[in-house]
Structure 1
Amino acid sequence: MEEGNIRRIIGTFFKNRFSAQTAGRFFYWLRIDTDIREKEEALEEIWERTPSMATDKTRADFARLRARIETARRPAGHRHPLRRIARYAAALALLAATGLAAYFAAVSSAPDTSSPRMAEHFVPYGESQEITLPDGSVVWVNAGSVLIYPESFTGRTRSVYLNGEADFSVAKNPKKPFVVHTKNMQVEALGTVFCVQSYPGARYVRTSLEEGSVRVRVSTDGGAELYSAVLTPDKQLTYARHTNEVAIDDVDAASLVMWREGHLIFQNAPLEEIVLKLEKRYNIRISYNAALYEGRYYYIKFQPHETAEQAIAILAKLIGASYQFNESVVYLH
């Protein structure tokens, strides 16, 4: 596997909450005898970025984790790669809010060799890509997004994991629900077309439904379920991370997913969301005073053929601002 992909998989995992089953698969992959050097380097980076503070609980978690690592039973003569990465396992304990330290200890002595391999698909800024999943479902992944999924759906559900934005056209299989996991949202469908938007750092997480029906479960950063609802077509559920508020609005869902053809259409969207999408489409950075536009919402459409400067000119006119380009940085005044 390419080194950049390994780093993205590990980084994505530490930014989200996942089920014990998925965490078990992840840590089995982490411990197998492949790409050890790249895995160690990625874990070391996470360790270096982790705040250097720990509570009594995290110290106790790590002590139990280390003891479990040292006493794990292994076949004679087999050097388990877990020993080689154990010195970075403290990053898990210090990131106790993710709950991954407990999962790591739980699976340290019992890898599930029947679990399918995990595949990762990353789309760079300025691009969007279409992929077909093992069950025939089609996913359009937007710029700056990561989609992680098993190479075969062998469990009771078809679970995939998203950081960013993707549009899903799900192959029907009533016996095996299709579930999209993000940091604050779980979207379950049997056979449907829907879009999920959950970029790291963005204040809003959204699901909009084009066809069929989906059940959306919203959870706080701490993992507690906050809200659950079934969406019907042309409904959009929005979770505001900064206020823990949930809203369901009427939208033209088909228009919202026209980014697959290069269009960007916003309906009652805050400026920060528009800026985020433009930054990812054109691979630029937009600097502006967010406080001036707090509580304002906009309707705007950008065409596929428009250049970055044309798109910024349209946006500036909409919000009543001037703009200045400085290489890849745009300043809105």
Structure 2
Amino acid sequence: MKKNIQDAVADFFLKDRTLREVNSFWHFFLHPKNRDAKEQALFTIWNQIEDHRPGMEKDADRALTKLKHNLTNNKHTRYALSFRIIWKYAAFLLLPILLFATAWEYAIRTKQVETVVLSTSNAMTKSVTLPDGTIVMLNAGSSLTYPKTFLGDDREVTLSGEANFSIFPDKEKPFVVKVSNLRIKALGTKFNVNAYAASKIVTTLEEGSIQIANDRESIIVKPNEQVTYLPGNHGFEATPIDVSVATAWMKGDLIFEETSLSEIFAGIERYHDLTIEVEGVLDDKIKYSVKYNKSETLVQKLEVLCHMTGYISYFFEDEKHVVIVNKKR
């Protein structure tokens, strides 16, 4: 690896280069990976130049005289100059400046970037436009961590809870959402991530394409497809879905499909900003599907659950504390 880096740096200064290749080299060279080896390669070139300074001085003088003559007598010559000439003598004349600039660039790239933590309390949602133009709608009881400026090769944020993402397209810098040990990667798309439960992460794609990956496997998700990830099983399960169900919370509705009572109560807690206490043990092996629209009250929601299950009742300790009673105890 070290030899390859030395060869790449040496070739850059000693061979012809197109503008595209020049840009590609600096993208490679200024990346933090293998930093020490790249710096050593640059110093090696400088030492080689020091050993041949007298001869290079004469070559540089002749080259600059010829360059001046060509520019004076042929207005088109400037467009045909060899990158080899430019970079060979830039190495001799400007390498100390490049060394300083490289160190400065590393300092900028490796410094601690200031981060922003956006949080929502229960019973509230919030929308934010990220530095790249991506729009994020954050559901209740959630948090999003993102940098004030996106540096590096991607745009990475960290999510806890639930959010809907409308990604600003940038093919050169993918957008990545970190959730637990998952990385959800997108270029330009719209998707929803529900990660309230530590035991289940649900991603729903509305538009475009995304890749979901952990340290073992990955999956490409299609529009109108929902992927459920169970961290304990390290597996992905993809199913077709009506996207409006996964994004109903953005309109103020609550929809649960094949969901345990514990998860339903947790959703109601976030929605109404209250505490639900359960007396006894709920049977979470049984799954329920229920839809609440924005206009329904807390009492109406609880009454529906009591009727559906047939074995629970409830009472209010106060306006912010509800007790659910398992009548089968």
Alpha-carbon distance, 1:184 to partner: 2.9
**TM-score under structure 1 length normalisation:** 0.60
Which residue number corresponds to residue 314 of structure 2?
Answer: 323
Gapped runs of 5+ residues in structure 1? 1-20, 22-109, 219-224
Checking the alignment, whether the CA contact within 8 Å between 1:210 and 1:254 is kept in structure 2 is no
Change (3 A) 1:273 1:135: same
Checking the alignment, whether the CA contact within 8 Å between 2:109 and 2:151 is kept in structure 1 is no
User: How many residues are matched?
Assistant: 218
Alpha-carbon distance, 1:167 to partner: 0.6
Which residue number corresponds to residue 254 of structure 1?
Answer: 244
Checking the alignment, whether the CA contact within 8 Å between 2:262 and 2:284 is kept in structure 1 is no
| 1:18-37 superposed matches below 5 A | none
Distance 1:314 1:140 in 2: 29
The answer to whether structure 1 residue 159 and structure 2 residue 148 are counterparts is no
Secondary structure, aligned partner of 1:277: helix
Alpha-carbon distance, 1:190 to partner: 0.7
Checking the alignment, whether the CA contact within 8 Å between 1:184 and 1:205 is kept in structure 2 is no
Distance 1:289 1:186 in 2: 38
The answer to whether structure 1 residue 140 and structure 2 residue 130 are counterparts is no
Which residue number corresponds to residue 102 of structure 1?
Answer: none
Alpha-carbon distance, 1:137 to partner: 0.9
Change (3 A) 1:198 1:228: same
Checking the alignment, whether the CA contact within 8 Å between 1:216 and 1:230 is kept in structure 2 is yes
| 1:227-266 superposed matches below 5 A | 227-266=217-256
Checking the alignment, whether the CA contact within 8 Å between 2:219 and 2:236 is kept in structure 1 is no
The aligned amino acid for 1:148 is T
Which residue number corresponds to residue 71 of structure 2?
Answer: none
Q: Which runs of 4+ in 1 moved over 6 A?
A: none
Alpha-carbon distance, 1:177 to partner: 0.4
Normalized per residue, the structure richer in helix is 2
The answer to whether structure 1 residue 312 and structure 2 residue 302 are counterparts is yes
Of structures 1 and 2, the one with the larger relative CO (CA 8 A, separation 6+) is 1
The answer to whether structure 1 residue 203 and structure 2 residue 193 are counterparts is no
Checking the alignment, whether the CA contact within 8 Å between 1:214 and 1:231 is kept in structure 2 is yes
Aligned sequence identity (%)? 34
Secondary structure, aligned partner of 1:156: coil
Gapped runs of 5+ residues in structure 2? 1-31, 33-106
Alpha-carbon distance, 1:305 to partner: 2.1
Checking the alignment, whether the CA contact within 8 Å between 2:127 and 2:137 is kept in structure 1 is yes
Checking the alignment, whether the CA contact within 8 Å between 1:215 and 1:231 is kept in structure 2 is yes
Distance 2:224 2:281 in 1: 31
Distance 1:165 1:134 in 2: 20
| 1:260-279 superposed matches below 5 A | 260-279=250-269
Distance 2:185 2:236 in 1: 17
Checking the alignment, whether the CA contact within 8 Å between 2:227 and 2:239 is kept in structure 1 is yes
**TM-score under structure 2 length normalisation:** 0.61
Q: What is the RMSD of the two structures over their aligned residues, measured on CA atoms?
A: 2.3
- For the pair shown, which has the larger CA radius of gyration, 1 or 2? 2
The aligned amino acid for 1:143 is A
Which residue number corresponds to residue 25 of structure 1?
Answer: none
Which of 176, 180, 183 aligns to 2:173? It is 176
Which residue number corresponds to residue 116 of structure 2?
Answer: 119
Checking the alignment, whether the CA contact within 8 Å between 1:284 and 1:330 is kept in structure 2 is no
